[in-house]
Amino acid sequence: MNIDIIADGLEFPEGPAFDAQGDLWAVELKGGGLIRWSGGSYERVPTGGGPNGIVIDDAGRVLFCDSAERSIRRHDPSAGRTDTMATHVDGEILNKPNDLAFDAVGNLLFTCPGDSRQEPTGYACVMAPSGEVRKIAEGYYFPNGLVFNADGSQLIIAETYKQRLWVGDWDPAELSWTNPRVWAEGLVGAPGPDGMAWGKDGRLYVAVYGSGAVYVISEYGEILDRIELPGKNPTNCAFDPSGELGLVVTEAEQGRLLSIPGLGTGIPLFAGV
């Protein structure tokens, strides 16, 4: 399968996402900022902190987890400013937020793995449009990437240090994730599954950190294939809505953005307002 290097020299890239103009956004976790890729080149947007995952709302603002500042932040490209949206849950400071996703009605869900590599102290949260933040899941070994299915009725969360994916039913009105169960296992890496994206082909593409590959998972949670990459530490992935770049993968070992154009497009993502 053809894999193109579209950018390199990045400092631990993560969290790719496309805006309405077709520009590709990502973060540099160790560079303390965002990057904006367009037309074959990129610019850096300093934010400070340690940015991780990215989502983009209907207004074109880039929301991201900041593990260093332990907060959810939002960058407005048109205003050139970055604001903090949330810092606490249940009276405690957020435990190193990692990745995030909007549901169908604008709730923002995010993972907080903290230092849960050896103990199941990781959790996931939801932030409602009102600003309320509450926990929706607790007791995981490094909950990491998360993704909704096409209609938003199910949420999948990667449990990196157990090398598996969980699926549960999502109720956006009640802000509840129910009936969580192990959905896919054996995503072997050092440590394991990170970010992921659904393809239009009905398959889930999972960046497995430490494996040097993107795993391809069926709609039933079966491992179908591995796409080998030039670099052992893929962190996340996103589909180009135009189809031109196919699946874009952030790879941290070599500091690159990779494009797998033959994979086409993915399911449309939800966006907050």
| Separation CA 13–CA 24 (nearest Å) | 12
Collapsing DSSP states into helix, strand and coil, what is residue 187? coil
Distance CA 55, CA 26 (A): 10
Residue among 229, 153, 233 nearest 190 (CA): 233
Write the pLDDT tens digit of every residue in 127-153.
999 999 999 999 999 999 999 999 999
DSSP, res 246: B
- Longest pairwise C-alpha distance within the chain: 48
Q: Which residue has the tokens 């995030």?
A: 100
Q: Could you report the per-residue pLDDT of 44-93, keeping only the tens digit for each?
A: 999 999 999 999 999 999 999 999 999 999 999 999 999 999 999 999 99
What is the 3-state composition of the chain as percent helix, strand, coil, each rounded to the nearest 5? 0, 55, 45
pLDDT tens sequence across 161-219: 999 999 999 999 999 999 999 999 999 999 999 999 999 999 999 999 999 999 999 99
Sign of CA dihedral 271, 36, 247, 141: negative
Instruction: Locate the domains of the chain by residue range.
Output: 4-263
What pLDDT, on the 0 to 100 scale, is given for residue 1? 82
Q: Answer for the pair 150, 198: CB distance below 8 angstroms, yes or no.
A: yes
The β-bridge partners of 136 are none
CATH of 4-263, one of 1.10.730.10, 1.10.340.30, 2.120.10.30, 3.100.10.10: 2.120.10.30
